[in-house]
Amino acid sequence: MTAIYGLFDKPEAAQRAYTGLKRAGVATGDITVISAEPFEAFEFSHRDHSMILFRLALVGGIIGFVSGVLLTRGTELAWPLVTGGMPIVAWWPNLVIIFEMTMLGAIVTTVVSLLVSSKLPAFRRGLYDPAVSDGKILVGAPLTGGRTEESVREALAAGGAVTVKTAEL
């Protein structure tokens, strides 16, 4: 698959190119924007906003909580030793373990969700240019869905691209 991308000095120019590509009929999901830092103030950054990580962290926390309850209660019932006059299932001390396992569940789930949803680790790199590390912002789109190279190049150049390049993915 062939993709066309432009490199931009300023986020304002990248935003113009992004808007131009949308006007040229490129679907939002097909436009790639890559930068060496996040630009939260610009529209191109907003399309991926989602609360999914927060929800998954909550699920991870619940899994950790249930695991903590099962581990402590199950152990105490399987080895019913009286310690310090406490009941066999001693909820006060168990709460410490349950709390730690709840937080561990939330933390580990967050990291796993981040990696999976960001497609990391990525063994094959998609559209990329090392110039991004020099501060350039990459805006590009694949040549699919019947769109022509000229229309994409035109939108990128109109935005103020420093260079426009072709990449084989």
Partner 1 sequence: MSDYAVALTDDLLRPLIKTSWRFWTLVVLLLAVVSLGIGAFAYQVNAGIGVWGLNSPVFWAFDITNFVFWIGISHAGTLISAILRLVNAEWRRPVTRCAEVITVFALMIGAMFPIVHLGRPWLFFWLMPYPSERLIWPNFRSPLVWDFFAISTYLTGSSLFLFLPTIPDFALVRDKTTGWRNRLYSILALGWTGTTKQWHRLESAMQIMAIAIVPVAVSVHTIVSFDFSMAPVPMWHSTIFGPYFVAGAIFSGIAALIIAMAALRKFLHLEKYLHPVHFENLGKLLLMMSLLWGYFVFAERLTTWYGNGVSEMTVFWQTQRLSFAPLYWTMVTANFIVPVIILSFRKLRTIAGCVVASFGVVLGMWLERFLIIVPTLSHKYLPYSWGSYRPRTPEILLLIATFGAMVLFYVLFSKLVPIISIWEMKIGQHPQLAHESQTTDEAQTMWRTQP
- φ, ψ of residue 54 to 5 degrees: the values are -65, -40
Position 71 contacts partner 1 (CB under 8 A): yes
Position 150 contacts partner 1 (CB under 8 A): no
Residues contacting residue 90 through CB under 8 Å, at least 6 positions apart? 76, 83
Kindly state the smallest distance separating residue 150's Cβ from partner 1, in Å. Answer: 25
Closest alpha carbon to 38 in 132, 127, 116: 132
Q: How far apart are CA 153 and CA 159, in angstroms?
A: 10
Kindly state the smallest distance separating residue 101's Cβ from partner 1, in Å. Answer: 7
Kindly state the smallest distance separating residue 51's Cβ from partner 1, in Å. Answer: 8
Neighbour tally for 38: CB within 10 Å: 8
Which tokens in the block code for residue 82? 């009286």
Size of the site for partner 1 (CB under 8 A): 63
Residues 109-148 that bind partner 1 (CB under 8 A): 110-111, 113-115, 117-128, 130, 132-136
Determine if residue 4 is left, alpha or beta; phi over 0 gives left, psi from -120 to 50 gives alpha, anything else beta: beta
Interface residues with partner 1 (CB under 8 A) are: 32-38, 41, 44-45, 47-50, 53-54, 57, 71-72, 75-76, 78-79, 81, 83-84, 86, 90, 93-94, 96-97, 99-101, 103-104, 106-108, 110-111, 113-115, 117-128, 130, 132-136
